[in-house]
Amino acid sequence: MSAGEIDLLPGERVLWAGEPVQRPLYVAADGVIAPAGLILAAAALWFLLTKQPSGLTMAAAVVALVLGLYGAAGRSMVRYLALGRTTYAVTDSRIIARSGLFRQKERSSELAGLSAPVLKPGTSRTGTIAFGESGSVTLMGVGEPKRVRDLLAKAIDEAKGRQAPPEPDSSAA
């Protein structure tokens, strides 16, 4: 995401912009979801082949099969493909991610509301930068992740400093 593609707020400036340099096919959550999806798909397929259901029962089994296949592999493939069209930006007040497989959606989080960034190192000098808040933007597959994490930590501290109420003047008494 270049600075020209970002709808900046008045007075806002871009500190960093980039995109994933590596797209992970599997993430930690897939360690539970993929096997569960595989089990669901196998059970639905077994049910379809052995019981030969009809009507509503067949429709439910087909839905279970599709959901199981999506959990087993589809979810990872959609994420992988969407990351190929993902861009990130850090401004002096927000972190922004623009992503989407077919239609680009922009999500942003105010820096002043974020906790310190946590770096999960990846392979080939990449990493994922996340925050403790659910719903906040996560930067996956970022190159030079330590530099980006440090830049984010500094930007978050500065944003929180701007949000802090002024110190009372104790010299006037």
pLDDT of residue 74: 94
pLDDT of residue 134: 73
pLDDT in tens, the chain (173 residues): 544 466 778 888 999 999 999 887 777 888 999 999 999 999 999 999 999 899 999 999 999 999 999 999 999 999 899 888 999 999 999 999 998 888 888 899 999 999 999 999 988 889 999 998 777 889 999 999 999 999 999 999 999 888 767 677 666 55
Percent of the chain as helix, strand, coil, to the nearest 5: 45, 20, 35
pLDDT of residue 132: 81
Q: Where are the beta strands (DSSP E) in the chain?
A: 14-18, 87-91, 94-99, 105-110, 118-121, 126-130, 139-143
* Length of the chain measured in residues: 173
CA distances from 35 to 38, 52, 67, 146 (A): 5, 25, 12, 33
pLDDT of residue 93: 92
